[in-house]
Amino acid sequence: MWGVTTAIWERYIEFKNEFWKNTISQTISPLLYMIAFGMGLGNTTQIDGHSYIQFIIPGIIALTTMNASFSSIAMSLNVQRLFEQIIMSPTPIWQYVLGQTIGGALRGVYSGVIVLIISAFFNADIHITPMFILVMLLNGMLFASLGVFAAINSKTHSSVSRFSTYVILPMTFLCNTFFSLDNVSGVVKFIIEVLPLTHSSRLLRDISFLNPTNYLSLLILILYMILFISISIYSIKKLKNL
């Protein structure tokens, strides 16, 4: 498993060298979301018996872990273009992908913790349990592995940005993050329900509200993670065989 630990260590060194830049950048967006969406409606609007600020914070945590995990891997690997070296090295490809996935997920969890700290200043009552942290980690792993896939299949930096625009950005606003899906119906609701971030938001919100855990959503996240890791490994092996 040395390949896994090496990849995680690489992510750690990169994070340590840019600790304050990463921390500040991961603070700005959640803070703006809470100010823009939470302060205006936070105490006046009720959703499912909870204040709006309590409703959106689990969604903000879900989208923040997604963005941090995906971008920290997709942008970094695409800039470094290390795949040729990995192909030539004795490092097992699955260990490399798994290590990058875990490293990116830990970055996402760190960003989620920042959101939790910020939420304390908004008097949001968020219940944190081991399952809450596990869902954050799982959400980070599936999007970090998607970041590996995006980096492998993007020839330029702009291609990664377009991938993020077409895939990550829509989920940021649609997947049960800022509004309830109760009033959404038809094909639109079906598409939203298929997307992984919807299930992450739902799980984090249920845990926060002390509702029963939706194990179907948990299973869906695990399946997405396995799928994204598998296609990333396949993509690198395909590149190796060219």
Give Cβ neighbours of residue 28 (< 8 Å, ≥ 6 apart).
Answer: none
Dump the DSSP string for 13-79.
HHHHHTHHHHHHHHHHHHHHHIIIIIIHHTTT-EETTEEHHHHHHHHHHHHHHHHHHHHHHHHHHHH
Q: 25-34, 139-148, 211-220: lowest mean pLDDT where?
A: 25-34
pLDDT band at 105 (very low <50, low <70, confident <90, very high): very high
Residue 139, pLDDT above cutoff 90: yes
Q: What is the pLDDT at residue 216?
A: 94
The rounded distance, in Å, linking the Cα atoms of 84 and 73 is 17
Model confidence pTM above 0.95: no
pLDDT recorded at residue 41: 60
For the cut 90, the answer to whether the pLDDT of residue 94 exceeds it is no
In this predicted structure, the answer to whether residue 235 has a pLDDT above a threshold of 80 is yes
**Alpha carbon 70 to its chain's center:** 6
